[in-house]
């Protein structure tokens, strides 16, 4: 692991991993702030800021930004999540100074022009409309909303039409000054990069970043609530999402939860795929996932199926959850570990994947985690720990149910909760 770390006098952390066999470099700036750091009247502003960063600076127009990076064959993009925001580029090794200069420019000298803001609001309103027209996006947004009802963690990252329309350049600058500070930012590069040279470039170009926030960053503590949300639509298939309170990144059972999600629905050999799709043909898509956040988590099962299959599908899923609390085979653990190990090693062959992985680990743990250490954490997971975790996850917490589409035959949440709590009990709709 050829990773070097330098913390500048300003507080900004610079990390590189040199991959000398490559000709390209993936680099970016990761900020430990996202939609969870918005105040009540800022819903969607983190995502809007990410868009506006590319819309002109004191030195470059929006077109200049796009042309300069593409003139050298490079790529430039950004992403907003609940707890992080990232701005990243990929270029050939000789063009790293240009990429650093553009990233610094958009993060320290963006102008937030009124006319550009008006246009970008319109673009995001179209993005919101497109998301609302996509049932598998809607089911996840509603899922988060009911799991963390009334909290920033439960709000759609895009915001609402009303909130997006209301934002001013001043509000964007306030969010920026509160969250984009050196103590919360990490500049990471992986590929054909020299650490000492890169540090000098970053130190010179990012000197204008504020060291301390204008006000304390906002982060509302998460409270998992759970519940039921449904939207009947005239569609060919039903999107159903059943979830439970998961584990935060730093909790002991986080890696156990990742393994359990893999065993239940992490691939074609998983229990849900084999039983629900292959053996019974009840849906065309089914998988399990576990999302970790800084102070909470979500474990979920997503299925896409016809409305007529719902009375049979839900009891089968519940039965598989119950079986996982009774028996897990060592072979399943070994297979899940092998899949995770392969993902880690394959990720090392991609500079973009490595830069993103290193940045996430720096934000979460304060240091890069070597792959052998990651695998060592997974080695301690036993069949007993997994069955115990499954029992606590699926049968000791309030479930969250989100459904969109032809869902008239989907059982009430009370019946599903009863079936989860009582072995051998089927939901009323399924029994009837």
Q: Distance between CA atoms of 230 and 239, rounded to whole angstroms?
A: 10
Do 23 and 192 form a contact (C-beta atoms < 8 A)?
Answer: yes
Structure letter (DSSP) for residue 48: H
The dihedral through the CA atoms of 344, 348, 350, 352 has a sign that is: positive
Task: For residue 263, give the nearest of 335, 314, 326 by alpha carbon.
Answer: 335
Q: Distance between CA atoms of 50 and 81, rounded to whole angstroms?
A: 11
Q: Distance between CA atoms of 401 and 242, rounded to whole angstroms?
A: 5
407: three-class secondary structure by DSSP: coil
- Parallel/antiparallel/unpaired status of strands 400-405 and 238-245: antiparallel
Task: For residue 262, give the nearest of 191, 185, 336 by alpha carbon.
Answer: 336
Query: CB under 8 Å to 410, separation ≥6 — which residues?
Result: 230, 238, 240, 307, 310, 314, 403, 429
* DSSP states of 13-61: EEEEEE-TT-SEEEEEEEES--GGG--GGGTTHHHHHHHHTTS-BSS--
Is 111 marked active-site? no
Do 213 and 189 form a contact (C-beta atoms < 8 A)?
Answer: no
Do 212 and 11 form a contact (C-beta atoms < 8 A)?
Answer: no
Do 242 and 416 form a contact (C-beta atoms < 8 A)?
Answer: yes
Choosing from 50, 83, 116, 332, which is the catalytic residue? 50
Q: Distance between CA atoms of 378 and 343, rounded to whole angstroms?
A: 14
Tokens of residue 287, six digits: 């998988």
Q: Distance between CA atoms of 289 and 299, rounded to whole angstroms?
A: 6
Q: Distance between CA atoms of 157 and 80, rounded to whole angstroms?
A: 8
Do 86 and 79 form a contact (C-beta atoms < 8 A)?
Answer: yes
Report, as residue numbers or ranges, the catalytic residues.
50
């Amino acid at each position: 692991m050829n990773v070097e770390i330098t913390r500048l006098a300003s507080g900004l952390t610079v990390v590189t991993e040199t991959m000398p066999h490559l000709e390209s470099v993936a680099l970016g700036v990761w900020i430990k702030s996202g939609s969870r750091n918005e105040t009540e009247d800022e819903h969607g502003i983190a995502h809007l800021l990410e868009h506006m960063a590319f819309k002109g600076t004191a030195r470059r127009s929006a077109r200049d930004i796009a042309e300069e990076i593409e003139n050298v064959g490079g790529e430039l993009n950004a992403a907003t999540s609940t707890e992080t925001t990232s701005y990243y580029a990929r270029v050939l090794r000789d063009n790293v100074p240009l990429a650093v200069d553009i990233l610094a420019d958009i993060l320290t000298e963006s102008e937030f022009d009124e006319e550009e803001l008006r246009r970008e609001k319109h673009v995001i309103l179209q993005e919101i409309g497109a998301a609302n027209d996509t049932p598998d996006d809607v089911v996840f947004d509603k899922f988060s909303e009911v799991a963390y009802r009334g909290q920033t963690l439960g709000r759609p990252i895009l915001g609402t039409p009303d909130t997006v329309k209301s934002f001013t350049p001043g509000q964007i600058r306030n969010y920026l000054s509160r969250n984009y500070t050196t103590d919360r930012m990490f500049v990471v590069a992986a590929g054909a990069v020299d650490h000492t040279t890169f540090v000098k470039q970053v130190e010179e170009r990012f000197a204008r970043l504020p060291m301390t926030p204008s006000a304390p960053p906002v982060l509302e503590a998460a409270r998992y609530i759970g519940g039921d949300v449904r939207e009947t639509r005239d569609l060919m298939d039903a999107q159903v999402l059943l979830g439970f309170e998961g584990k935060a990144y730093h909790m002991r059972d986080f890696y156990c939860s990742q393994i359990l999600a893999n065993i239940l629905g992490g691939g074609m050999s998983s229990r849900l795929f084999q039983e629900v799709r292959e053996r019974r043909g009840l849906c065309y898509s089914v998988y399990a996932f576990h999302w970790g956040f800084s102070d909470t988590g979500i474990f979920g099962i997503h299925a896409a199926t016809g409305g007529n299959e719902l009375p049979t599908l839900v009891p089968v899923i519940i039965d598989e959850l119950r079986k996982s609390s009774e028996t897990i085979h060592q072979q399943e653990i070994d297979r899940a570990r092998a899949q995770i190990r392969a993902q880690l090693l394959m990720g090392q062959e991609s500079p973009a994947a490595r830069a993103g992985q290193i940045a996430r680990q720096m934000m979460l743990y304060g240091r890069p985690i070597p792959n052998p250490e990651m695998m060592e954490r997974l080695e301690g997971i036993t069949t007993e720990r997994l069955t115990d975790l499954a029992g606590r996850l699926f049968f000791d917490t309030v479930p969250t149910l989100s459904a969109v589409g032809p869902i008239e035959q989907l059982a009430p949440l009370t019946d599903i909760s009863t079936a989860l709590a009582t072995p051998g009990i089927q939901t009323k709709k399924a029994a009837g």
